[in-house]
Amino acid sequence: MTMENKTEEIIRVEGVSFSYDGVPALLDVNLSVHRGDFLAIIGPNGSGKTTLLKIMVGLLKPGQGRVWLFGQPLEAFKQWHKIGYIQQKATNFDPIFPISVAEVIAASLNSVSRPVKPGRGQVRNKIMEALQTVGLETEAGRPMNSLSGGQQQRVLIARALSTEPEILLLDEPTTGIDYPSQENFYDLLGKLNKQKQLTIVLVTHDYGIVNRHVNRVACLNQKLVYHGEHSEFCQSDRFRELLHGGHHLISHRH
Amino acid sequence: MNGELIFSGLFLRALLAGGGLALACGLLGVFLVLRRDAMISHGLSHVAFAGVALGLALNLMPLIFSIVVCLAGSLLILRLKEQARLPGDTAIALLSSGGLALAVFLMSIKKDFGAELMAYLFGDILAIAPSEVYLAVGLALVVTAGILLNLSRLVFMTFDREAALVSGFSLGRLDRLLVMMTAVTIVLGLRIVGLLLVTGLTVIPAASALQLARNFRQTLLLSSFFSLLSILGGIVLAYVFNLPASAAIIFLALLIFSLSHLLKRWR
Ligand SMILES: Nc1ncnc2c1ncn2[C@@H]1O[C@H](COP(=O)(O)OP(=O)(O)OP(=O)(O)O)[C@@H](O)[C@H]1O
Ligand SMILES: [Mg+2]
């Protein structure tokens, strides 16, 4: 499905370069994400995918270039409740941390700056709603560290969804999750994207699994090698040149 | 046991100050342990000790003076950690050795307050003055309120700092608040159990709570309860059996830890 008629621009990255102590990680990246997009960012290890995502959410300041969120310069942006972010290896939290599934979500819900603070009963409802979306409503009282890796990942998705964001940015969210669970997970993302118009930016190595949900692709290797419609991308094989040997990246429908 | 003794002002004052301190330590300790900042209290206790020495040398109120010095020290540790790119424990080592060196130096040039300073090495809660009780209770309440008012954000940033950074609240401000509350608590702890044992007071109840708790609420409740039990129980034991209070408090805390640990393994 192509989206010719452009909707609101949610993220705009303009001429962004970034280096870690003088070692370049990103060079002159231009990219925009529109409302309703499901953008996959792909590229080999060390190609700057995580760096780009961190710049998009303000965790890193670009050396050059600028970022806009919802039409505002990032430095002036305040509506952080509109943004859900799940970092790479998000489930690498402290295994002794004593916290229940519901508390993980409540801590975020009560912290995020938003115009109107939700009341206590509302928080409870939002927690259960978010857990239902990921199919974990029966586990609200369990300690987080007693869940499996895949379940933990889903709790973190629920946490990101609980604040009702308008865009979700995920950095390799299914590392270490079995194949059927991965498919379920991406089906869920696809559903949220189509039914709730949730905009999604997904960094992934498993392009084969996600490609039926994705409508745009950005292929990164320090520079943006390709940025455009998913359908066109499938005809070209630029990313195969780029990711030589990455056979698992090729769509199972081709 | 003599009923009049139990209700003597001395004893009640000790319980009151101890109770306030226990609450602050129990709540704060959970965050110190989970943030891997347990050694901050160790470092700050040495800074607080230097503050007491300075206060005594200058004939100022040692407790107040120590709080000021310790607050400055706590912010310095944060800065060193962030800006000098030092690992936290190294920044703490710089400050704690500096603090102790200063205290030793001051003792050598002004010999007359050595004995008074020694009281802060081992603490002496049963000798606490009425004015100190008000200070202790007041500050303990401030620390408790500081934690409870920011509870969600403190939990969020301790559990998942990167996600918290994308939530639009200032983590730097909360880092400073936490380290300053630690500084205040340490100075009060110095008066009660002394330099040598104050780290234990901030860490052991939280460590015991971690053995048993299944969620964060339970952790805070258990840690505060264990902290109260150790400090109040220790004071009573010390009073009744004429023991050093600081030792009794730490022994009780360790006993609770051992029992919690056994209970966890047995469950
Ligand atoms: N904190 C850091 N300090 C120094 N260099 C870094 C840091 N983080 C990343 N880099 C370097 O920047 C480059 C881009 O890293 P980045 O993490 O953005 O890659 P990535 O595309 O996400 O890789 P992966 O697929 O392995 O997650 C790499 O060469 C990496 O070594
Ligand atoms: Mg990465």
Between these two residues, A72 and A250, which has the higher pLDDT value?
A: A72
The overall average pLDDT reported for chain A is 84
- What pLDDT score does A246 carry? 44
Task: Give the range among A165-179, B102-116, B157-171, B173-187 with minimum mean pLDDT.
Answer: B102-116
Residue of B67, B169, B30 lying closest to A97 (CA atoms): B30
What is the pLDDT averaged over residues B197-224?
95
Task: Determine how many CB atoms are found less than 10 A away from the CB of residue B92.
Answer: 24
Q: Which of residues 169-188 of B touch A (CB under 8 A)?
A: 169
For A85-122, what is each residue's pLDDT tens digit?
Answer: 998 887 788 999 999 999 999 999 998 877 777 788 88
Q: Which residue of A has its CA nearest to B209?
A: A98
Residue of B21, B31, B27, B47 lying closest to B174 (CA atoms): B31
Q: Which atom of ligand 1 is nearest to the CA of A43?
A: 21
What is the pLDDT averaged over residues B121-127?
82
Q: Which residue of A has its CA nearest to B151?
A: A107
- What pLDDT score does B87 carry? 78
Q: Which of residues 66-85 of A touch B (CB under 8 A)?
A: 78-81, 83, 85
Q: Which atom of ligand 1 is nearest to the CA of A54?
A: 18
| Residue A254 confidence class, pLDDT cut points 50, 70, 90 | very low
Q: Would you kindly state where each structural domain of chain A is located, as residue ranges?
A: 3-95+169-249
- What pLDDT score does A91 carry? 79
Q: Does any CB of chain B come closer than 8 Å to the CB of residue A141?
A: yes
Q: Which atom of ligand 1 is nearest to the CA of A222?
A: 14
CB A134 within 8 A of CB A84: no
Q: Residue B166: which of A59, A109, A156 has the nearest Cβ?
A: A59
Residue of A74, A93, A94, A96 lying closest to A83 (CA atoms): A74
Written out in words, the top-level CATH class of the domain with range B3-261 is: mainly alpha
For B151-183, what is each residue's pLDDT tens digit?
Answer: 999 999 999 999 999 998 889 999 999 999 999
Q: Residue A100: which of B167, B169, B214 has the nearest Cβ?
A: B214
- pLDDT of residue A177 exceeding 60, the answer is yes
Q: Is the CB of A48 under 6 A from ligand 1?
A: yes
Tell me the pairing of strands A72-73 and A64-69.
antiparallel
Q: Would you kindly state where each structural domain of chain B is located, as residue ranges?
A: 3-261
Give the list of residues 6+ apart from residue B171 with CB closer than 8 angstroms, or none: B157, B161, B164, B165
Select from B33, B151, B156 the residue whose CB has the most chain A CBs within 10 Å, as the one to mutate to test that interface: B156
Q: How far apart are CA A130 and CA B212, in angstroms?
A: 28
For A32-60, what is each residue's pLDDT tens digit?
Answer: 999 999 999 998 899 999 999 999 999 99
What residues are paired with A221 via a beta bridge?
A223
Q: How far apart are CA A25 and CA A65, in angstroms?
A: 14
Checking A110-116 for CB contacts under 8 A at 24+ apart, the result is: A110/B152, A110/B153, A111/B152, A111/B153, A111/B156, A111/B164, A111/B167, A111/B169, A112/A80, A112/A81, A112/A163, A112/B167, A112/B168, A112/B169, A113/A78, A113/A80, A113/A81, A113/B167, A113/B168, A113/B169, A114/A79, A114/A81, A114/A163
In CATH terms, the fold of domain A3-95+169-249 is: Rossmann fold (3.40.50)
Contact A78 B168 (CB under 8 A): yes
- pLDDT of residue A245 exceeding 70, the answer is no
For B56-82, what is each residue's pLDDT tens digit?
Answer: 888 888 888 899 999 999 999 888 888
- Chain A residues with CB under 8 Å of B215 CB are 98-100, 103, 141, 143
Q: How far apart are CA B180 and CA B265, in angstroms?
A: 36
What is the pLDDT averaged over residues B48-63?
88
Between these two residues, B29 and A185, which has the higher pLDDT value?
A: B29
Residue of the CA atom closest to atom 28 of ligand 1: A46
CA distances from A109 to A133, A165, A173 (A): 16, 11, 21
Q: How far apart are CA B223 and CA B216, in angstroms?
A: 10
Q: Is the CB of A87 under 6 A from ligand 1?
A: no
- The structure's pTM equals 0.89
Give the list of residues 6+ apart from residue A114 with CB closer than 8 angstroms, or none: A79, A81, A163
Task: Determine how many CB atoms are found less than 10 A away from the CB of residue B194.
Answer: 24
Instruction: Give me the amino acid identity at B135.
Output: L
In Å, how far is A209's CA from the nearest CA of chain B? Answer: 26
- pLDDT of residue B107 exceeding 70, the answer is yes
Give the list of residues 6+ apart from residue B70 with CB closer than 8 angstroms, or none: B44, B47, B48, B51, B183, B184, B186, B187
What ipTM score was computed for the predicted complex, to two decimals? 0.88
Contact B34 A87 (CB under 8 A): no
Distance A182 CA to ligand 1 centre (A): 24
Distance A15 CA to ligand 1 centre (A): 19
Sign of CA dihedral A163, A166, A172, A174: positive
Residue of the CA atom closest to atom 7 of ligand 1: A20
- Chain A residues with CB under 8 Å of B261 CB are none
For B13-28, what is each residue's pLDDT tens digit?
Answer: 889 999 999 999 999 9
User: Most confidently modeled of A234-243, B219-228, B237-246?
Assistant: B219-228
- pLDDT of residue A247 exceeding 60, the answer is no
Please, how many CA atoms are within 13 Å of residue A119, restricted to the half-sphere of its CB? 2
Contact A93 B159 (CB under 8 A): yes
For A195-209, what is each residue's pLDDT tens digit?
Answer: 888 999 999 887 777
Q: Residue A100: which of B153, B168, B215 has the nearest Cβ?
A: B215
Q: Which atom of ligand 1 is nearest to the CA of A26?
A: 14
- In A143-222, DSSP assigns E strands to 167-171, 199-203, 216-221
Q: Is the CB of A45 under 6 A from ligand 1?
A: yes
Q: Does any CB of chain B come closer than 8 Å to the CB of residue A57?
A: yes
For A6-34, what is each residue's pLDDT tens digit?
Answer: 688 999 999 999 999 989 999 999 999 99
